[in-house]
Structure 1
Amino acid sequence: MDIWLAQHDVTESSKTTYRKCVDMHINPNIGELRLNELTTQRVQTFLESLTPGTAKTARAALGSACGMAVRWGVVARNPVRDTKLKKTSRKEVRALSDEEISQYRSAIEKWCGGNSSGTKRGESLVEIVDVLRGSGMRIGEVLALRWQDIDFENGTVTVAGTVDNKGGRNSHPKTEKSRRTIPVKQCALQALKVQWGKEYRPFMGEIVFPTRNGTYRTVPNVSGDLKKARGDLDIHAHDFRKTVATRIEESHGVMAASRYLGHASTKVTEQSYLARPSVVADYTEAF
């Protein structure tokens, strides 16, 4: 597992997730087995002892590592290939209404700067929300934006990286197809213009949404602030991405939504990003 993880070509965030799973679950439970002892039955028993989310991560890690072992000629077949994960009920995708978006933004705006002492809280949080809702970008992609990625004249943003949880920037987004240049909605463009006009901007270098120290913000820190700011509203940053996907699909089809969001395939878009309409459109003319 250690040899596999060292050469596995994924983002640092994903590598950290896999490392945690290896250290906490795989190595303590089946790490002492020889490869010829790692049967499909043993892997299946191990996966069934884990929670659904952990089992999914463990299966992905084990499957990829054993695939490497097959390519190296160490084992004849991949014992993970024929294992099955427990079926879990998929949470219904939620697309936000204009009213919900407005309520969320108002809650964030009210919370920002609402503290009576200390440094003003929530700096640039409203602008980050406006970019999220006007672009459908992942929050890590928004936080990784540099001024060179913004084209104010043409109204486009180039998605060319993501942030890690240590305040660093990866020079590539989540997947190869996530790297893209997209037109963004006026609210996102206006938020970026507001950010450009802030008095500290000339001293902070290339980062669009820097910390007070001029470093990249992390997703956990920004998500934590958004959670405090939204209060009782059951709305999350990723809901904006799903909302954008659903609205594009309704007008232009699933392929357009998939390409705009930078998904590797339309399957990802269909399974996890499109909300079902309460009433299906009238297609009866095609009967």
Structure 2
Amino acid sequence: MPKRKRSVHGGGSVYQRKGDGRWVAKFKVEATGKWRELYARTEKEAYAKLQQALFEQKQGTLVTAPQQSLQAHMEHWLQVKRLELKDGTYTYYRVYTEAYILPVLGHIRLQKLTDAHIQSFYADLLEDVSANTVRLIHGILRTALEAAVRWKKIPLNPCKTVTPPRAVKKELTYLTLEQAQRLLEGARNHKLECLLTLALATGMRQGELLALRWTDIDFQKATLHVTRSLSYRNPDGTGYEHKVEEPKTASSKRTIPLPDFALEALQKHRVQQLERRLKTPEWEDKGLVFPNDTGGYLWVDPLRRQLKKLLQEAGLPVIRFHDLRHSAATILLAMGVNAKVIQERLGHSHISITLGVYGHVTESMQLEAITKLDDQFKRSKGGQP
């Protein structure tokens, strides 16, 4: 018979196996009701393992799930996240996981994954991608491993003791007022004229503009209602498709007052669209303000190419479509428009986002304010400005 001893603190036992002489610490897992055995070379080591396991069980950190690889866990985690995330966010999680995390760390058993593995992974990544990209990957992996802790797969999240690279602040790309005017001048009578005009006048996101319908515009009140967004996604890796969804955040649903030049561009564009519609028998009426040639959703790749060509022809720096949004906000800030008003036009959830993104403008405005303040006080003292 094997030599058996009761645990000092109860809740399990320690005994020596007769066959190979190994020591066994045995206890019941409260979450499953099943007995678990831990093996050790000495009696002292067996007691230490038992006490540690009972402590983890009391603290709620005892691992109760079966062992699996990081890849198996990440794939299951992505399936769960698919139910709660928007297509855009889910796609970015899936693509970064499959492109970067799984090829290097996927084979490692989840319970064997250490902070040293992850830190070395980040160091190697920095040779090929930017620090900001590594930080994005770190955010995905940290969140996935936090889920592993909640699901009792691992006791602690190794990402918590890993140091990601410092974020590098990117220079914001935008057009000045004079450059924006040059772009619109070059786009006169072009099929993108109205789209670019509205982008610069409202600061709307690309998806919000491409999902815009004529029923969203109130010409009498000179307002525009943002209620939906068009995404161009490949969430499951099976092919790209258009999808109309809720805007990015609750604050993204908003009403934007329109200036006269934007209203005039919309009215002109509507007449042109009606004429084109009459000449197109296969027209698909979705009520879109900015459809493709047959009334359906506009694909973004041709849009980007046409924008690039217009910028080059106008002698302007090549920027992304999203940078028109930055341009709209920068122009308004430079004109002295209140940041709260700009926040509401852009649909930012907090004014701190607006001020954080466009701090370059507010800094120059601060310098301008100081100069004006200095001039005023010099005048009040009879000095020379």
TM-score scaled to structure 2, two decimals? 0.63
User: What's the CA shift for 1:99?
Assistant: 1.5
| d(CA) in 1 for partners of 2:113, 2:226 | 41
Query: Match of 1:200?
Result: 276
> Given the alignment of the two structures, is residue 209 of structure 1 paired with residue 290 of structure 2, yes or no?
yes
- Contact preservation (8 Å) 1:134, 1:185: yes
> Given the alignment of the two structures, is residue 240 of structure 1 paired with residue 324 of structure 2, yes or no?
yes
**Structure 2 vs 1, CA of residues 25 and 107 (structure 1 numbering), >3 Å: closer, same or farther?**
same
User: What's the CA shift for 1:27?
Assistant: 1.0
Alignment of 1:1-287 (within 5 A): 1-8=74-81, 9-50=84-125, 51-52=129-130, 53-87=132-166, 89-109=168-188, 112=190, 123=191, 125-165=192-232, 166-197=240-271, 198=273, 199-201=275-277, 203=283, 204-231=285-312, 232-236=315-319, 237-249=321-333, 251-276=336-361, 277-278=363-364, 280-283=367-370, 284=373
SS at structure 1 position matched to 2:158 = coil
**Structure 2 vs 1, CA of residues 269 and 228 (structure 1 numbering), >3 Å: closer, same or farther?**
same
Kindly tell me the number of residue pairs found equivalent between the two proteins: 275
RMSD of equivalent CA atoms:
2.8
- Contact preservation (8 Å) 2:286, 2:296: no
User: What's the CA shift for 1:201?
Assistant: 4.8
User: What's the CA shift for 1:95?
Assistant: 4.9
**Structure 2 vs 1, CA of residues 243 and 209 (structure 1 numbering), >3 Å: closer, same or farther?**
same
Could you say which structure has the greater relative contact order, defined with CA pairs below 8 angstroms and 6 or more residues apart?
1
SS at structure 1 position matched to 2:159 = coil
| d(CA) in 2 for partners of 1:180, 1:38 | 46
| d(CA) in 1 for partners of 2:257, 2:90 | 31
| d(CA) in 2 for partners of 1:191, 1:38 | 58
- Unaligned stretches of 5+ residues in structure 1: 113-122
1:249-282 per-position Cα deviation (integer Å, ceiling 9, x unaligned)? 4535433332321123333323323433546132
**Structure 2 vs 1, CA of residues 27 and 42 (structure 1 numbering), >3 Å: closer, same or farther?**
same
- Contact preservation (8 Å) 1:4, 1:65: yes
| d(CA) in 2 for partners of 1:220, 1:177 | 28
> Match of 1:262, as an amino acid?
G
| d(CA) in 2 for partners of 1:221, 1:22 | 29
Query: Match of 1:117?
Result: none
SS at structure 1 position matched to 2:325 = helix
SS at structure 2 position matched to 1:188 = helix
1:188-239 per-position Cα deviation (integer Å, ceiling 9, x unaligned)? 3222222322223575332111112332113333122211221142152333
TM-score scaled to structure 1, two decimals? 0.82
- Contact preservation (8 Å) 2:231, 2:245: no
| d(CA) in 2 for partners of 1:155, 1:184 | 5
User: What's the CA shift for 1:135?
Assistant: 0.4
1:8-39 per-position Cα deviation (integer Å, ceiling 9, x unaligned)? 33332332222221211111111122222233
